[in-house]
């Protein structure tokens, strides 16, 4: 984890000026300064690390956002933008001497154009709310992170969120056409366009996944996709993880790009079956869910093809959903994997490495060895189609040393992901959680380039400081100790 304390401390006079300035900009109930009001903002979905901010600003208009940024820029106060706070890497963890800028009140869908297949929305609009609003036009917003019921589009842009349908429908970066962004000095820029291409450097690609470090999203125009007429899923169980991994490769080798291709190992399957009773094969080493969507004809053709491939790959049991209700039941467990694991352990850490699929069996065997070494349980859910692996490390933060062991276990998994040619984060972002492992994945020159790029947008480093890109000092520490220290964050 990275320290959030590298930024300078504010003097009392500066704090007073900041609060006085913010009071002039914001309505009384839009500025939180009392500790009891700040507590709900002390962490995001990475609950193991908490930090109270100096204050929380909850503007309701774009002019207020701009004014808050200008004031913070002038006073050199760090700003951490925040949506629903569902992020899992600590991207929205506050900075002690900084402002949390909540975009939660920007909940309006500004415009839906069913013919152009676009929706223009404010940053605090929930991911799922977009699909719900455009459902009457038989359209939807494709990226579906598992937090989609709560997470906001502003946060999705910051994290380049994925979901279970990325292989076919892409990530946030493939589904956002334009963002309106406020830079730290209050300048508002339009990036991208409703046309498909924009002149100059592709700043939209940079902005998406920049973890709130380059600008604050004020508005996003997203691409809408026609809803497939039908979807069906094949559920296959395997008595061997290697066979399951090979089955995934075989589906792709057969020229099929499934709408969803997900895998769970035995511990994960058992945890979710107890929770949702989906009828999973509890003796299987791996369960594979392969979804096809499209026209009825297309789905029949693809399901038949996938069944044949899975049989050939040695699946011990195959079931095809016979109704929409059954399809949802098959998915229920996969979608509920995180809460299901949450029921069987006081705490868990969700890792997010991506690996080349061919290394799946090797990586899972190594994870099992590490679990024994660290004396902790681990369940694995896997976006098999795109190689994104979510090991869920179970621990009890109240037992001395368990959080530290879990964190170290997680670090080893991420390093393993890099070793096999993958990455430390597929869709959750670096945040504070993986800032140390950035030193494993990137050279000092590459990290320098990231810092220079950041400075092109935010020369004083005020937006979300201490996240995503480690300083050289932090990397030296990480290399020495295998951990980058936790700053003043504390375990829950």
Touching other proteins, residues 291-310 (CB under 8 A): 294-295, 297-298, 300-302
Pick 329 or 358: Cβ nearer other proteins: 358
Name residue, tokens 């900084």: 98
Q: How far is the CB of 182 from other proteins (least distance, A)?
A: 11
Half-sphere exposure of 367 (CA within 13 A, CB side): 28
Backbone angles phi, psi at 466, to 5 degrees: 85, 0
In whole angstroms, give the CA distance from residue 54 to residue 464: 14
Token pair for 427: 């869709």
154 binds other proteins (CB under 8 A): no
Using CB under 8 A, which of the segments 97-105, 112-120, 281-289, 318-326 binds other proteins?
A: 112-120
Pick 349 or 468: Cβ nearer other proteins: 468
Backbone angles phi, psi at 210, to 5 degrees: -90, 10
Backbone angles phi, psi at 459, to 5 degrees: -60, -30
Q: How far is the CB of 451 from other proteins (least distance, A)?
A: 9
- What residues numbered 402-421 form the site for other proteins, per CB under 8 A? 421
With contact defined as beta carbons under 8 Å apart, do 385 and 379 qualify? no
Pick 85 or 215: Cβ nearer other proteins: 215
159 binds other proteins (CB under 8 A): yes
Helix (H, G, I), strand (E, B) or coil at 271: helix
x/- track of binding to other proteins for residues 34-73 (CB under 8 A): ----------------------------------------
Q: How far is the CB of 299 from other proteins (least distance, A)?
A: 9
Token pair for 415: 């390093």
Using CB under 8 A, which of the segments 261-269, 339-347, 348-356, 390-398 binds other proteins?
A: 348-356
Q: CA 453 → CA 157, 214, 390, 426, 469, distances in Å?
A: 18, 9, 30, 21, 11
- What residues numbered 352-391 form the site for other proteins, per CB under 8 A? 354-358, 383, 385-388
Q: Of 312, 455, 472, 481, which one interacts with other proteins (CB under 8 A)? A: 455
Instruction: Tell me the site size for other proteins, rule CB under 8 A.
Output: 97
Q: How far is the CB of 92 from other proteins (least distance, A)?
A: 15
Q: How far is the CB of 236 from other proteins (least distance, A)?
A: 17
Name residue, tokens 């076919």: 168
- What residues numbered 208-237 form the site for other proteins, per CB under 8 A? 208-210, 214, 226-229
Q: Of 6, 70, 128, 170, which one interacts with other proteins (CB under 8 A)? A: 170
Backbone angles phi, psi at 287, to 5 degrees: -115, 135
x/- track of binding to other proteins for residues 9-38 (CB under 8 A): ------------------------------
Closest CA to 47 of 334, 370, 403: 403
Q: Of 38, 70, 450, 485, which one interacts with other proteins (CB under 8 A)? A: 450
- What residues numbered 247-286 form the site for other proteins, per CB under 8 A? 249-250, 252-253, 255-257
- What residues numbered 418-447 form the site for other proteins, per CB under 8 A? 421-430, 434, 438, 441-443, 445-446
206 binds other proteins (CB under 8 A): yes
Name residue, tokens 């009891």: 36
Half-sphere exposure of 428 (CA within 13 A, CB side): 30
Q: How far is the CB of 192 from other proteins (least distance, A)?
A: 11
Token pair for 489: 């964050």
Pick 177 or 236: Cβ nearer other proteins: 177
Enumerate residues 6+ apart whose C-beta is below 8 A from 364: 241, 265, 380
With contact defined as beta carbons under 8 Å apart, do 171 and 161 qualify? yes
Count of beta carbons in the 10 Å neighbourhood of residue 109: 16
Q: How far is the CB of 148 from other proteins (least distance, A)?
A: 16
Strand pairing partners for 217?
181
What is the total residue count of the chain?
Answer: 492
């Amino acid at each position: 984890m990275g320290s959030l304390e590298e930024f300078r401390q504010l003097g009392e006079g500066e704090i007073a000026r900041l609060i006085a300035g913010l009071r002039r900009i914001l309505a009384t109930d839009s500025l939180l300064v009392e500790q009891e009001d700040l507590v709900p903002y002390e962490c995001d979905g990475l609950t193991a690390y908490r930090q109270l901010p100096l204050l929380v600003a909850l503007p309701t208009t774009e002019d207020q956002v701009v004014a808050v940024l200008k004031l913070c820029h002038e006073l050199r106060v760090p700003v951490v933008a925040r949506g629903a706070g569902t992020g899992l890497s600590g991207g929205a963890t506050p900075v002690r001497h900084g402002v949390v800028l909540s975009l939660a009140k920007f909940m309006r869908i500004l415009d839906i154009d069913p013919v152009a297949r676009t929706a223009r929305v404010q940053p605090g609009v929930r991911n799922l709310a977009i699909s719900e609003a455009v459902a009457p036009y038989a359209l939807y917003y494709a990226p579906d992170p598992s937090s989609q019921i709560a997470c906001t589009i502003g946060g999705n842009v910051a994290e380049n969120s994925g979901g279970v349908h990325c292989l076919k429908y892409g990530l946030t970066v493939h589904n956002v056409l334009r963002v309106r962004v406020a830079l730290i000095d209050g300048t508002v820029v339009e990036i991208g366009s409703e046309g498909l291409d924009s002149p100059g450097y592709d700043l939209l690609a940079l902005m998406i996944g920049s973890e709130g470090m380059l600008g604050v999203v004020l508005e996003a125009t997203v691409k809408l996709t026609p809803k497939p007429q039908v979807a069906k899923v094949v559920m296959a169980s395997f008595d061997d993880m290697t066979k399951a991994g090979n089955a995934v490769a075989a589906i792709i080798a057969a020229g099929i790009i499934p709408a969803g291709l997900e895998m769970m190992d035995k511990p994960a399957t058992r945890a979710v079956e107890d929770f949702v009773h989906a009828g999973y094969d509890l003796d299987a080493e791996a369960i594979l869910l392969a979804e096809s969507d499209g026209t009825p004809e297309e789905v029949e053709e693809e399901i038949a093809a996938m069944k044949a491939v899975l049989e050939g790959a040695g699946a011990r049991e195959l079931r095809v959903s016979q109704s929409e209700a059954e399809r949802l039941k098959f998915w229920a467990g996969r979608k509920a994997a995180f809460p299901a694991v949450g029921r069987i352990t006081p705490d868990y850490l969700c890792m997010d490495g991506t690996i080349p699929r061919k290394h799946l069996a090797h990586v899972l065997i190594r994870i099992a060895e590490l679990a024994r070494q660290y004396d902790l349980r681990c369940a694995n859910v896997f976006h098999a189609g795109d190689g994104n692996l979510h090991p869920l490390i179970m621990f009890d933060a109240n037992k001395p040393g368990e959080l530290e062991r879990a964190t170290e276990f997680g670090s080893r998994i991420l390093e393993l992901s890099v070793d096999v040619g993958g990455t430390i984060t597929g869709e959750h972002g670096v945040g504070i959680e993986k800032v140390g492992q950035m030193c494993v994945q990137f050279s000092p020159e590459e990290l320098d380039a990231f810092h220079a790029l950041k400075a092109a947008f935010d020369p004083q480093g005020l937006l979300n400081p201490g996240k995503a890109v480690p300083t050289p000092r932090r990397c030296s520490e990480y290399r020495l100790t295998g951990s980058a220290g936790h700053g003043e964050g504390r375990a829950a």
